[in-house]
Chain A
Amino acid sequence: AQKITQTQPGMFVQEKEAVTLDCTYDTSDPSYGLFWYKQPSSGEMIFLIYQGSYDQQNATEGRYSLNFQKARKSANLVISASQLGDSAMYFCAMREDNQGGKLIFGQGTELSVKP
């Protein structure tokens, strides 16, 4: 069974609008972390934001925020005020704390920002 599911292979958003990228996860470990990475066409992986399973508040980092709904096992990334430079692949990943620091990645969502 998929541990990380990103159901949107591709998304379009108008410049300056907000967009939500979906991520659901599956784990029985009570202690885990969720990460979002951005991968531009050049290939490097850029860390965006982190949410721990015990964190009481949703994480925010500049224009990025994470809509964490623990009971529903979802960790959606919200990008506010989209910019042309936000066009990239976005990956959701999970680390289960009893698994030695390994990350499990979703299949990714390709975001295209239109001018």
Chain B
Amino acid sequence: DGGITQSPKYLFRKEGQNVTLSCEQNLNHDAMYWYRQDPGQGLRLIYYSQIVNDFQKGDIAEGYSVSREKKESFPLTVTSAQKNPTAFYLCASSKYTQGYSNQPQHFGDGTRLSIL
């Protein structure tokens, strides 16, 4: 079945440590997105990519980095510069076309990151 796989499901980070969250999709989607969700809140966009080898900052990119070397993969690194990383991280993908489009974003099951 086609879908989006995020791993790990739970992740613990020590102070000063970088950690990488994995996101893989086999939907042949061009666009991929990373969101952060804090308890009781909506989703906020961290980074997004519309095409391989290109990505843009979202609303809360500070302390995070991404790469898009393959169409299927969009890993997110939470760096030590992110002082409050405890949150639920969701990866999404969608078909991307310029202008008017009704394509929804499809989401993975998320990764819960906590500070040790």
Q: Which residues of A contact B (CB under 8 A)?
A: 4, 31, 33, 35, 37, 42-47, 50, 52, 54, 91, 93, 95, 97, 100-108
Contact = CB atoms under 8 A, between A and B. Distances in A.
Given A102-B33, A103-B45, A107-B41, A52 B56 contact: no
A97 B101 contact: yes
Contact of A101 (B43, B48, B109, B112): B48
A102 B100 contact: no
B45 A106 contact: no
Contact of B101 (A4, A93, A101, A107): A101
Given A107-B41, A107-B42, A108-B41, A101 B104 contact: no
Interface string B74-112: 000000000000001010101010011111111111101
Contacts of A54: 100
A35 B102 CA distance: 9
Given A50-B102, A100-B56, A101-B101, A43 B88 contact: yes
Contact of B92 (A31, A33, A45, A52): A45
Contacts, number: 68
A26 to B, nearest CB: 15
Contact of B90 (A4, A31, A45, A93): A45
A100 B50 contact: yes
Interface centre among B42, B101, B110, B112, by most chain A C-beta atoms within 10 angstroms, is B42
Interface string B23-48: 00000000101010000111111001
A79 to B, nearest CB: 18
B58 interface: yes
> Chain A CB within 10 Å — which of B35, B41, B102, B106 has the most?
B102
A52 B92 CA distance: 20
B101 A91 contact: no
B50 A52 contact: no
A31 B100 contact: yes
A31 B96 CA distance: 15
A33 B101 contact: yes
Interface string B48-88: 10100000101000000000000000000000000000001
Given A101-B48, A101-B94, A33 B102 contact: yes
